[in-house]
Amino acid sequence: MLTSQRALFDMPRDVCYLNAAAWSPLPLAVQEAGRRGVARKGRPWSIDQAFPSRECERARNAAAHLINADANDVALISSVAYGVATAAKGLTVAPGSRVLVLQEDHASPVLEWMARSAEGGFSLETIERPGDGDWTEALLAAIRRPGAAPVAIASISWIHWSDGGLVHLEKVAAALRAQGAALLIDATHGAGVLPMDVKTLDPDFVVFPTYKWLLGPYGRAFLYVAKRHQDKTPLEQTAFGRRAVRAEQVTYFADTRYLPDARRFDMGERDHFISLEMASIGIEMVSGWGSAPIAERLGMLTARLVDGLTGLDLVIAPTHVRAPHVLCFALPERVADGLVARLAAENVHIAARLGRVRISPHVYNDEADIERFVAALRRALSP
């Protein structure tokens, strides 16, 4: 089994950080890349002109590798919301059709469609949280509901950010495909930790940022765009999104046709090379460990956590409907109020999301962290 990677982080032993789903710490190597990048920008005359585009391709390749995509199908963007806006700008959603989202999903895969539904004449259908926690079955039922309007697209998280629920994507993708509907996956809490193969899954769009599970900086995210959507208009108009609009040429606007692949969707100022190298190194580290070993280790830690909570009156979803690395459960109100702050005062860091606590370990965590959290929670729950 993958061992704890704590030594690669600036994480003192007395810190119990179980909050990767909010934001991860940067590995030492990523911090070092950031410092290097700042020093480079401090002396721009030393930067080789080809350096930014080399770094763009390095990050694009690293991100593509996580989901088994071709680098040509991946755009460099800034956030999940940017990716969803890009998808929505290009996609024709027929009036009268349905766009499916999950109840209380993160705002980024939802709000774009909400903002467009009235003008576009389509309905936004929010799939309610199922009592048994099985988002996959709830989605399948909504997609196949007899007599319902056709589905245009499902814009959904792979792993629900506030309850840790896991969507089994293959089943949902197949059901959508059978109707000719599109699939946008917010892979924020999955990319790098769980395997994804876009070549077999064939989603329309996959989007994920670097600052959580990929151990990278803010402001860096990636958008996979299936080839069938690569003729669409990007969100922003940039020189590098076109075939030949270059400052080095005598004629600036020599060829304004868009690039033929997903690079046309790259965001403005994508060359911000400080965060680019940081993002690449974080992703390369995650890839180096591999999603299966990471998931195995994190699954072991959350299983230990569930064992440690045995006997307490807590409702924890069964393993087949939840992610191995994000554990969420509700607590009695008297305990929940102020719990995150109380634990943080003891240097135990977790999150509260929509009435649940969320515990999200990463490769720097170990059994001692889990035991420490369990002991702290048991103290909080004791009358």
**How far is Cα 73 from Cα 228, in angstroms, rounded to an integer?**
10
Minimum CB distance to ligand PLP, residue 298 (Å)? 17
Among 34, 133, 192, 209, binds ligand PLP (CB under 6 A): 209
Among 30, 64, 81, 245, binds ligand PLP (CB under 6 A): 81
Cβ atoms of residues 289 and 324 within 8 Å? no
Among 5, 97, 123, 157, binds ligand PLP (CB under 6 A): 157
| Contact string (CB under 6 A) for ligand PLP, positions 160-189, x = contact | -x------------------------x-xx
* Residue 261 DSSP class: S
3-state secondary structure of 329: strand
Nearer to ligand PLP, 20 or 181 (CB): 20
Residue 125 has φ and ψ, to the nearest 5°, of -100, 120
Which 94-133 positions form the footprint of ligand PLP (CB under 6 A)? Answer: 106, 108
Among 26, 62, 64, 80, binds ligand PLP (CB under 6 A): 80
3-state secondary structure of 151: strand
Nearer to ligand PLP, 221 or 374 (CB): 221
Minimum CB distance to ligand PLP, residue 257 (Å)? 30
Q: Is 152 in the site for ligand PLP (CB under 6 A)?
A: no
Minimum CB distance to ligand PLP, residue 22 (Å)? 7
Burial class (CB in 10 A: 0-12, 13-18, 19+), 250: exposed
Minimum CB distance to ligand PLP, residue 192 (Å)? 14
Minimum CB distance to ligand PLP, residue 86 (Å)? 12
Chain centre to alpha carbon of residue 239:
28
- Return the residue matching tokens 């009235």: 118
**How far is Cα 169 from Cα 175, in angstroms, rounded to an integer?**
10
Cβ atoms of residues 172 and 136 within 8 Å? yes
3-state secondary structure of 60: helix
- Among 30, 10, 65, CA closest to 216: 30
| Residues whose CB is less than 8 angstroms from the CB of residue 309 and which lie 6 or more positions away in sequence, other chains included | 316, 374, 377
| Contact string (CB under 6 A) for ligand PLP, positions 271-310, x = contact | ----------------------------------------
Q: Which stretch in 77-85, 198-206, 325-333, 343-351 sits in contact with ligand PLP by CB under 6 A?
A: 77-85
SS3 content of the chain, % helix, strand, coil (to 5): 40, 20, 40
Give me Rg for the CA atoms of the chain.
22
Residues binding ligand PLP: number (CB under 6 A) = 12
Minimum CB distance to ligand PLP, residue 207 (Å)? 8
Minimum CB distance to ligand PLP, residue 80 (Å)? 4
Residues near ligand PLP (CB under 6 A) are: 79-81, 106, 108, 157, 161, 186, 188-189, 209, 221
